[in-house]
A and B are shown apart, each in its own frame.
Chain A
Amino acid sequence: MNIDQLCSQLGFVRSKGGVVEIPSAELAERAQALTAANVPLAFMYATDERALGAGFAVHAVFSLAGSGFLTLSSALDADAPAYPSLTRTTMAAHWYERLMGDQFGIVAEGHPDWRRLMHHENIPVGTYPLRKDFAWNTKLAQAKEPYPMHQVEGKGIYEIPVGPIHAGVIEPGHFRFNVRGERILALEGKLFFTHKGVEKLVEGKTPEEAMRFVERISGDMVVGHTLAYAEAVERAVGHTITPRAARLRVVWSELERISGHVFDIGNMAGNGTGFTFMAAQGFRMLEELRRLYESLVGHRYLRGAIVLGGAYDIEEDAQEQLRSQLEKTERELKTILNIAFQSDGLMERFETTGVLSQAAARAYGARGIGARGSNIPADVRRDHPYAAYAELPFAVVTEPAGDVAARFKVRAREVTQSLALIRAALASMPEGSAVSTVTIKQGDALGWAESFRGAVIDFVRLDAQGKIDRLAVSDPSFMNWPLFGELGPGNIVPDFPLCNKSLGLSYSGTDL
């Protein structure tokens, strides 16, 4: 089924831009119909249209695998923006609706868990930073608003508050465990301690200037974010990149996937369980890859690899260096993975720990490893091919068990596939230029890319001057953090760090 058939079946009329305008009262039931038709909600964002003489608008993006994304848009009132909540029937909308409440003051009426999300206690009521009339450098008064968290009461039940400052070198995040003995009964995270205001800061900047901000959304996911953003800008202005650039984008993306997975493999098996061998070897291999990236593009985390209109070129002799390092990495990774899989102690820690059911993963709209480890074959590289993925051989890796072991295996298998993809892309690399000039003009579009954590989806709207009017970024970590509430309970407290590492989420990417 393609989008046109879907629209005619559901009676949708698409506008010129491919968007379906829906009265806000109907949004929730339409969303439910789409979800029931196996077209899940992928992304929600809001826009402030008051400068155009309208009010606010809320947009819900649905993913129809193999055919594209379908956006439902509803215009909302300028003074009291509100619409019936989608969360009552579509769990994946849960955090998005709370986020839009904080960012725009748009009320999702009937939301079952209507609390603050991004705004902590210190943000005064009525602070809506993404409204156009909110200046980015506004100095806020110190407030003390309630930020209640889930709580279980009963005999022998106690709370464990962890963080936001942690002992290791990781980002800040607060976790609240409700525990009986060692068994977790309920678990909730309080994130958003690292707000950078990227979405606000890029408004009014040219797409080229905004690139520097997008590169810094999540430190280790540079290619994932820049690629989704570049694809969105290029689609908005109708630019097509060269075939060489498309191949190069595959190479850079898969390189980032390899280093991301090698880190997670070392981190899960090493730091998560205390199997020091895996951490030592994994981090050593990661360092070799970072040095390779530095020699290829001049940055250890691949900043500058993706540019508007193309990608950083890899010359013939650099390709040779790349191949030989990847061969070494592949050989060594195979050896240490063999040791890992043969270690009964390690597998015993992994198996049956942190089980995420397929139903829960589907309902929450889990992305990337979180979805594929629970047997959901979601991967935008195949579902909505971009760059040169449609021309290269690859299959979506899934594992059925949904536990930590399954997520470990998905990573191990994906690295092998990434290596094959890079080799195929290099072998079929066409001659020509790697970058073409993008002519910026007015327009809007979605862009997406499968980062090593999962799909990044960006919405970009450029105004008449070619400046960014709205950039909405959907990071896979934002979709996957709420999964902890599902996979944590039932596990014992000392296993939580392992569950956490098995999803390998970013705090910075969640909090733009």
Chain B
Amino acid sequence: MTAMLFILQGSTTLALAPLMVGFVRFFKARFQNRRGAPPWLPYVSLWSLFAKEMTITRYSSWVFRSVPFVVAGVAVLLAFSVPTFAYGVIPEPLSNLFFIGGLFALGSVWLVLGGMDAASTFGNMGSSREMTLAAFVEPALYLGLSTIASAAGVWSLDGMLAHSASTPWEAGVLPLAFTFGALLLVVLAENARYPVDNPATHLELTMVHEAMVLEYSGPYLAFLEYASAVKLLVTTLFLFALVLPFGLVHAGASPLWAVVWYAVRFLLAAFTVASIESMIVKMRFYRMQEYFSLAFFVALAGLALVLLQRGIF
């Protein structure tokens, strides 16, 4: 049963990741008075990318060609190790927050290398910006997750979800409101969304994530786009499952509500990202330290609250 749930959770994530991207775009279009493409368009786009031939500059090394596989491999691992609708199914070490953090870092570093390998200016610019941002993201990411870990008493994401689901909502989730706020800021940055990066821009000079993948085409590009879709889905759905731990599946029970609540969290996550991107302006790059300081201090406030609550201070 547990093994089946483990496989089901991972494969659902892998199957639905492009749909999440599609729904974000769909909601954004609606915010802009446009009808927008159907939410399943990303599947078609990925398919057509797979059918295309690749152009790879001869001034690139094996690093360039290995990046899509490493990044997509990391995405598959993430799909199986980050819980999105079930708890008590992922082995503790696989879902340990430092392991997950390491996976994120591994994916980013290879993407950065891929951006630099072809030696194009834009790729290097994107890589330089990505590393700058990564240095800012990590403190807030680990602080936020550790806060939840210390409230839940476990180091695994799976265990955090179990804690959220098994304690009453007011007692389990409300004290962590600050932490969720901080993690939302981190999730937006990790996924190259507003206000840190603009995934829809055509302006090469302003790009971060897109600049690193500019040199990729065809199936390799599909790998990278698919990987970023998986990342978006697992990070947002995990966060929303922590905040709304209803209808979660576990080894003992599979409530009928599970599908409904999954759909609710899925759409809510897409809607939240889309509305943030429609309502705010992308920040000036030199203001990023302020954005991440905000994320860090909100996470710190969350940690202080949790420690106070547990009577440690």
- The residues of A with any CB-CB pair to B shorter than 8 Å are 158-162, 166-168, 182, 271, 273-277, 279-281, 284, 343, 345-346, 348-349, 353, 492-497
Among A160, A273, A349, contact of B121 (Cβ-Cβ < 8 Å): A160
For A492, what are the chain B residues with a Cβ–Cβ distance below 8 Å? 284-286
Among A162, A280, A345, contact of B283 (Cβ-Cβ < 8 Å): A345
User: Which residues from 18 to 45 on chain B have a C-beta closer than 8 Å to any C-beta of chain A?
Assistant: 28, 31-34
B284 and A281 within 8 A (CB): no
B285 and A274 within 8 A (CB): no
In the complex, B310 has a CB within 8 A of chain A: no
For A279, what are the chain B residues with a Cβ–Cβ distance below 8 Å? 32
For B278, what are the chain A residues with a Cβ–Cβ distance below 8 Å? 276-277
In the complex, B280 has a CB within 8 A of chain A: yes
In the complex, B55 has a CB within 8 A of chain A: no
* Per-position binary interface string of chain B over residues 264-283, scored 1 when its CB falls under 8 Å from any chain A CB and 0 otherwise: 00000000000001111111
29 A-B pairs within 8 Å (CB atoms) are namely A160-B121, A160-B122, A162-B205, A167-B203, A167-B204, A168-B202, A274-B194, A274-B198, A276-B28, A276-B31, A276-B277, A277-B31, A277-B32, A277-B278, A279-B32, A345-B195, A345-B281, A348-B284, A349-B282, A349-B283, A493-B125, A493-B205, A494-B206, A494-B284, A494-B285, A495-B285, A497-B203, A497-B205, A497-B206
Closest Cβ of chain B to A260, distance in Å, is 21
* Chain B residue with Cβ nearest A175: B205
A280 and B34 within 8 A (CB): yes
* Chain B residue with Cβ nearest A277: B278
- The residues of B with any CB-CB pair to A shorter than 8 Å are 28, 31-34, 121-122, 125, 129, 194-195, 198, 200-206, 277-287
Which of the listed residues A158, A274, A275, A281 has the most CB atoms from chain B within 10 Å of its own CB?
A274
Q: How far is the CA of A345 from the CA of B194 in the complex (A)?
A: 12
- Leading 9 A-B pairs by shortest Cβ distance: A280-B32, A345-B281, A274-B282, A167-B202, A494-B206, A168-B202, A275-B281, A274-B198, A497-B203
For A284, what are the chain B residues with a Cβ–Cβ distance below 8 Å? 33
For B195, what are the chain A residues with a Cβ–Cβ distance below 8 Å? 345
Q: How far is the CA of A275 from the CA of B31 in the complex (A)?
A: 12
Q: How far is the CA of A353 from the CA of B278 in the complex (A)?
A: 23
Closest Cβ of chain A to B59, distance in Å, is 16
For B283, what are the chain A residues with a Cβ–Cβ distance below 8 Å? 345, 348-349
For A346, what are the chain B residues with a Cβ–Cβ distance below 8 Å? 281
Closest Cβ of chain B to A286, distance in Å, is 13
Total CB contacts across the A-B interface at under 8 A: 77
* Chain A residue with Cβ nearest B28: A276
Q: How far is the CA of A495 from the CA of B286 in the complex (A)?
A: 10
For B282, what are the chain A residues with a Cβ–Cβ distance below 8 Å? 273-275, 349
For A161, what are the chain B residues with a Cβ–Cβ distance below 8 Å? 121
A349 and B125 within 8 A (CB): no
Q: How far is the CA of A284 from the CA of B280 in the complex (A)?
A: 20
* Chain B residue with Cβ nearest A284: B33
For B280, what are the chain A residues with a Cβ–Cβ distance below 8 Å? 275, 345
Among B125, B129, B277, B287, contact of A348 (Cβ-Cβ < 8 Å): B287
B121 and A496 within 8 A (CB): no
Closest Cβ of chain A to B117, distance in Å, is 17
Closest Cβ of chain A to B201, distance in Å, is 7
Closest Cβ of chain A to B166, distance in Å, is 40
Q: How far is the CA of A263 from the CA of B186 in the complex (A)?
A: 34
Closest Cβ of chain B to A494, distance in Å, is 4
Closest Cβ of chain A to B202, distance in Å, is 4
Closest Cβ of chain A to B20, distance in Å, is 19
B284 and A349 within 8 A (CB): yes
For B121, what are the chain A residues with a Cβ–Cβ distance below 8 Å? 158-161
Please name 20 further chain A to chain B contacts, defined as beta carbons within 8 Å, in addition to the given A493-B125, A496-B205, sorted by A numbering. Answer: A160-B121, A161-B121, A166-B202, A167-B202, A168-B203, A274-B194, A276-B32, A276-B277, A280-B31, A280-B34, A345-B283, A346-B281, A349-B282, A353-B284, A492-B284, A493-B205, A494-B206, A495-B284, A497-B203, A497-B205
For B206, what are the chain A residues with a Cβ–Cβ distance below 8 Å? 274, 494, 497
Q: How far is the CA of A348 from the CA of B195 in the complex (A)?
A: 13
